[in-house]
């Protein structure tokens, strides 16, 4: 999916990547964030290793493997870093072990201004891939930064680009030395009704948390569901009216440890009809479009499917997105399409709507 920011675990991607991760693991610090492996559109990114106090005390080195999908192959890779509070000391390629660093390889560039094609500030590796090719990149920073789920990795391919949040250095530049000792269970956990079947669970933020595990238990059936979140809130959908749920939250700490669960809070989904807020809107911009257009949606939808067809019914683009209820956008490239009228269909949690879009070059 082009220019959409999503995240998700990808397990068992390939034997080759598994071998790289195995070779790296002997000298790596524990990976304590929840998304070291993500799909980025048709491409794949993997955090293989973090080495703290390497190559010198107070420095950290981060090792990634990027794999290009099918055509169009990756033309360059961006890693978004907060260069206002961290310094890149070294970068290049690595392999076959974490000790084999090739400084300056991979056409690296430190970008203090946005990449003109992706808008990313941070690191750019400006070398092209073949279909299915894997390349291993590293960068060394000036601090032992906490692992966070919120580093943006972007792959540029063809006329569009893809992005996903994954494990990387703290976007707030928090270092491990600031987060010593066991972390505490989340406090100030609250439940706020959104509509009869949805509730928002919120808790106190903690900069020394790498993520949180939030769980809901149906007190009637005993069924339990848990989610890993990198921000301090989670919306639960599909509640049964009149049913009581217990919610607890646990902190996944920067040093790899885990806090106790918070004291449970109980919430009963209402039976009486509540005023339902206006359905989340979605927009197309620009329309007419030339080289690309964006589909933007507001928060409140868990699953989105987007299809672009011409008037004959021929499918030109299709995306299935798990948005976790967050707002977002999808960029669709159109430079290769003929001018004319097209139909854009979006399915949001099973509700289908179709609009017209015009392509004009």
Contact 310, 327 (CB under 8 A): no
d(CA 285, CA 329): 10
Does this model's pTM top 0.75? My answer is no
Token pair listed for 289: 């479009």
Checking if the pLDDT of 79 tops 70, the result is yes
Q: What are phi and psi of 179, to 5 degrees?
A: -130, 45
The mean pLDDT value for 78-107 works out to: 95
d(CA 93, CA 73): 19
Checking if the pLDDT of 108 tops 90, the result is yes
DSSP code of 117?
T
d(CA 64, CA 138): 6
Render the burial of 38-52: b for 16+ CB within 10 Å, e for the rest: bbbbbbbbbbbbbbb
Q: What are phi and psi of 348, to 5 degrees?
A: -115, 110
Token pair listed for 58: 């107070």
Token pair listed for 258: 């885990």
pLDDT at 14: 37
- pLDDT > 90 in the chain, percent: 40
Would you call 166 exposed, middle or buried from its count of C-beta atoms within 10 A (0-12, 13-18, 19+)?
buried
DSSP code of 293?
E
- DSSP code per residue over 211-265: EEEEEEEETTT--EEEEEESSSEEEE--PPTT-EEEEEEEEEETTS-BPPPPPPE
pLDDT at 195: 81
Which position has the higher pLDDT, 17 or 11? 17
31: preceding bond cis by omega (within 30 degrees)? no
Token pair listed for 321: 């997105």
- 225-244: per-residue pLDDT in tens? 998 887 788 889 888 888 99
Contact 344, 354 (CB under 8 A): yes
Q: What residues are paired with 227 via a beta bridge?
A: 214
d(CA 352, CA 187): 40
pLDDT at 215: 94
Checking if the pLDDT of 8 tops 80, the result is no
pLDDT at 180: 66
Tell me what the pLDDT averaged over the chain comes to. Answer: 84
SS (H, E, C) 172-196: CCCEHHHHCCCCCCCCCCEEEEEEC
């Amino acid at each position: 999916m082009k220019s959409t920011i999503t995240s998700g675990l990808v397990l068992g991607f390939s034997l080759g990547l598994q071998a790289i991760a195995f070779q790296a693991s002997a000298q790596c610090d524990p990976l304590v964030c929840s998304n070291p492996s993500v799909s980025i559109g048709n491409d794949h990114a993997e955090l293989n290793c973090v080495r703290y106090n390497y190559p010198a005390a107070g420095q950290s080195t981060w090792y990634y493997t990027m794999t290009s999908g099918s055509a169009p192959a990756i033309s360059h890779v961006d890693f978004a870093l907060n260069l206002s509070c961290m310094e890149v000391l070294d970068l290049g390629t690595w392999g076959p072990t974490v000790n084999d660093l090739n400084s300056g390889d991979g056409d690296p560039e430190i970008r203090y201004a946005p990449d003109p094609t992706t808008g990313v500030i941070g690191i750019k590796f400006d070398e092209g891939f073949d279909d299915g090719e894997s390349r291993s990149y590293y960068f060394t920073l000036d601090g032992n930064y906490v692992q966070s789920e919120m580093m943006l990795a972007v792959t540029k391919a063809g006329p569009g680009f893809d992005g996903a949040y994954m494990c990387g250095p703290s976007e707030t530049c928090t270092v491990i030395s600031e987060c010593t000792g066991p972390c505490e269970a989340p406090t100030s956990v609250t439940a706020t009704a959104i509509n009869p079947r949805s509730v928002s669970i919120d808790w106190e933020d903690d900069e020394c948390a790498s993520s949180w595990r939030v769980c809901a238990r149906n007190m009637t059936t005993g069924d339990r569901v848990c989610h890993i979140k990198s921000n301090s809130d989670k919306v639960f959908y599909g509640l049964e009216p009149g049913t009581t749920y217990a919610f607890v939250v646990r902190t996944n700490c920067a040093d790899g440890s885990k806090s106790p669960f918070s004291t449970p809070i109980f919430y009963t989904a209402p039976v009486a009809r509540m005023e339902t807020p206006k359905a989340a809107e979605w927009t197309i911009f620009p329309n007419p479009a030339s080289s690309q257009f964006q589909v933007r949606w507001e928060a409140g939808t868990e699953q989105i499917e987007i299809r672009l067809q011409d008037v004959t019914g021929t499918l030109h683009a299709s995306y299935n997105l798990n948005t976790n209820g967050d707002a977002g956008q999808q960029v669709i490239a159109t430079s290769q399409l003929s001018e004319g009228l097209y139909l854009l269909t979006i399915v949001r949690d099973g509700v289908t709507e179709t609009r017209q879009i015009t392509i004009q070059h």
